Chain A
Amino acid sequence: MAEAVVLKAEDICKSFGSLEVLKGITLEARNHDVISILGSSGSGKSTFLRCLNMLDPPTSGKVSVHGEEIVVKNGHPADMRQVERARQRLGMVFQQFNLWTHRTAIENVMEGPIHVLKQPKAEVKERAEALLVRVGLAERMNMYPSQLSGGQQQRVAIARALCMEPDAILFDEPTSALDPELVGEVLRVMQSLAAEGRTMIVVTHEMSFARDVSTEVVFMHKGKIAEQGPPKEMFGSPKTEVFQKFIADVR
């Protein structure tokens, strides 16, 4: 019954100078898991996510993708090729979208598969078009990011991650930079991804997403996992005081 482990983080610590941001985080993502990471700002949740694909390499601890450990020495990845391979299998969606502004929506989506994975252009174009249709941007494929709203840009960014056909997707507060009325369109796309069994790790402030969509909720507090479990349990009977307070504050 147990699904294969896609991504595993063991005892991740991360310091920026003398500031200790992560103090030993262990987390496992299996196929089809949708893990929501909650926590107040400064709890280290985004940093943890960025440790997973080595945008911020951990100071200590192990990250493995499909059982292959990414070797980090003295705070730097030992083998960039290995990191690049791992990143190709882990999509990432950023808070600020980070689309390439000099490329159109569809060029953004096609960039990785064509130039990084070296896939044939015609095949990629077909897939990219289908993905943009799926995220509701059929009419805007040839527009530049500056011509799109925040919600549309974020949906392009999701399509860009999907087009790499990743084994798991990391979301770093994907709706935090959006106007409230645009949050829904992005969450709906994410929900449909969860429904089709995508493996996702989502750093978010969206309680409803964490409660209704995710298979597991992780609550981080001051660089550690304070509480972790299935959403029903977590929201039904929060065990720790800090999580109780967090839920109360957010509501």
Chain B
Amino acid sequence: MDVFGVFAQFWPELLSGVGITIKLAGLGAIIAGFLAPLLALVRVNGGPAAQVPLRFYISFMRGTPLLAQMFLIYYGSGQFRPFLQDIGLWNFFREPFNCALLAFVMNSTAYQTEILRGGIMGVPHGEIEAGKAVGMSYVMSLRRVVFPHAYRIAWPALGNEIILLIKASALASVVTVFDLMGQTRAIFQKTFDFSVYIWAAVLYLCLTAAFVWIWRRFEHRLSPHIHGKRPSLLGAMTKRETA
């Protein structure tokens, strides 16, 4: 066992693994982040025809293991190869990275939708009425009142979900993606030096710690009314006024 020797020898592989992990979790969280607000609106306002399939989808995604979902997409798509080739999607599904990403997007969309639904339902009714009373349209009140407020409520829980996603992305290594965990396993198989797993743990910890730091910064900037800090806008305005 040579803790530093392993790192000295294999750091380029480990770092490229970190890159893939960031890409996988980041893309997954961002794509899910675009889908979730739309679905959350359906969860809050949609009719039964839209609700029932959506609730079924969310229950499925939250009620089954992510690993199973990923296998379903990765191995399942292989079963349907002729069909996928016919409709031109085989090029997408033949890449393990894409299969893992799709699984993460589908899974995280379900969680983020429910988190945002809670945020939307937490927006005080009176503030929505105040928007109506100044003549805002439905879309504008979503943009100016409902979502700005809902995201502030949901922000910590969304951060939590993304941290879980970063860690869950290690599952992608099982379907031959060379993310941080995939690289770590490959290095271990070459060297049988388990200390490489310590380095993997350290790197995951750095990733999540960095994410938490960034997320908190945003939280404070978004919600100075909760954190009691003066908004940066105020500083800029007073400077201009005194100038």
- Chain A residues near B (Cβ < 8 Å): 53, 55, 80-81, 84-88, 90-92, 94, 96-102, 104, 111-112, 115-116, 142, 144-147, 157, 160, 164
29 inter-chain pairs at a CB distance below 8 angstroms, sorted by A residue, are A55-B133, A80-B137, A84-B135, A85-B135, A86-B135, A87-B133, A92-B130, A92-B133, A94-B126, A94-B129, A97-B126, A98-B124, A98-B129, A98-B130, A100-B130, A100-B131, A100-B149, A101-B225, A102-B149, A102-B152, A102-B223, A104-B231, A115-B144, A116-B136, A142-B234, A144-B225, A145-B225, A164-B134, A164-B135
| Contact A101 B124, beta carbon cutoff 8 Å | yes
Q: How long is the Cα–Cα vector from A92 to B112 in the complex, in angstroms?
A: 35
Which residues of B have CB within 8 Å of A81?
137
| Contact B134 A96, beta carbon cutoff 8 Å | no
Residue of B nearest to A164 (CB): B134
Q: Which of B134, B223, B231 contacts A116, CB < 8 Å?
A: B134
Extra 19 A-B pairs, beta carbons < 8 Å, given A102-B152, A112-B135, A116-B134 = A80-B137, A81-B137, A87-B132, A87-B133, A87-B134, A90-B133, A91-B133, A92-B133, A98-B126, A98-B130, A100-B130, A101-B149, A101-B225, A102-B223, A111-B134, A115-B144, A116-B135, A142-B237, A144-B225
| Contact B137 A88, beta carbon cutoff 8 Å | no
Q: Does B145 contact A (CB under 8 A)?
A: yes
| Contact A115 B136, beta carbon cutoff 8 Å | yes
Q: Does B138 contact A (CB under 8 A)?
A: yes
Which residues of B have CB within 8 Å of A160?
130, 134
Give the 6 A-B residue pairs with the shortest CB-CB distance, closest first: A88-B135, A144-B225, A98-B126, A112-B134, A92-B133, A98-B130
Q: How long is the Cα–Cα vector from A98 to B123 in the complex, in angstroms?
A: 11
Q: Please encode chain B, from 158 to 179, with 1 for each CB lying within 8 Å of some chain A CB and 0 for all others.
A: 0000000000000000000000
| Contact A99 B140, beta carbon cutoff 8 Å | no
Q: How long is the Cα–Cα vector from A85 to B226 in the complex, in angstroms?
A: 34
Query: In the complex, what's the smallest C-beta–C-beta distance from A44 to chain B, in angstroms?
Result: 18
| Contact A99 B130, beta carbon cutoff 8 Å | yes
Q: Which of B126, B131, B222 contacts A96, CB < 8 Å?
A: B126
Residue of A nearest to B222 (CB): A102
- Chain B interface size, under 10 / 10 to 19 / 20 to 34 / 35 or more: 20 to 34
Which residues of B have CB within 8 Å of A100?
127, 130-131, 145, 149
Which residues of A have CB within 8 Å of B149?
100-102
Which residues of B have CB within 8 Å of A80?
137-138
Residue of A nearest to B125 (CB): A98
Q: Does B148 contact A (CB under 8 A)?
A: yes
| Contact B134 A144, beta carbon cutoff 8 Å | no
Residue of B nearest to A94 (CB): B126
Given contacts A104-B231, A116-B140, A146-B225, contact A98 B127 (CB under 8 A): yes
- Chain B residues near A (Cβ < 8 Å): 124, 126-127, 129-138, 140, 144-145, 148-149, 152, 222-226, 230-231, 234, 237
Q: How long is the Cα–Cα vector from A91 to B135 in the complex, in angstroms?
A: 9
Q: How long is the Cα–Cα vector from A96 to B222 in the complex, in angstroms?
A: 24
Query: In the complex, what's the smallest C-beta–C-beta distance from B5 to chain A, in angstroms?
Result: 53
Query: In the complex, what's the smallest C-beta–C-beta distance from B65 to chain A, in angstroms?
Result: 38
Q: How long is the Cα–Cα vector from A53 to B135 in the complex, in angstroms?
A: 10
Which residues of B have CB within 8 Å of A88?
134-135
Residue of A nearest to B130 (CB): A98
Which residues of A have CB within 8 Å of B230?
142
Q: How long is the Cα–Cα vector from A115 to B234 in the complex, in angstroms?
A: 20
| Contact A101 B127, beta carbon cutoff 8 Å | yes
Q: Which of B133, B144, B145, B225 contacts A53, CB < 8 Å?
A: B133
Which residues of A have CB within 8 Å of B134?
87-88, 91, 111-112, 116, 160, 164
Residue of B nearest to A95 (CB): B126
Residue of B nearest to A157 (CB): B130
Q: Which of A55, A84, A91, A101 contacts B129, CB < 8 Å?
A: A55
Q: How long is the Cα–Cα vector from A97 to B137 in the complex, in angstroms?
A: 20
Query: In the complex, what's the smallest C-beta–C-beta distance from B241 to chain A, in angstroms?
Result: 10
Q: How long is the Cα–Cα vector from A146 to B127 in the complex, in angstroms?
A: 14
Q: How long is the Cα–Cα vector from A80 to B149 in the complex, in angstroms?
A: 24
Q: How long is the Cα–Cα vector from A39 to B136 in the complex, in angstroms?
A: 31
Residue of A nearest to B148 (CB): A102
Which residues of B have CB within 8 Å of A84?
135-137
Q: How long is the Cα–Cα vector from A150 to B231 in the complex, in angstroms?
A: 22
| Contact A144 B234, beta carbon cutoff 8 Å | no
Which residues of A have CB within 8 Å of B127?
98-101
Of the candidates B134, B222, B225, the one having the most CB atoms from chain A within 10 angstroms of its own CB is B134
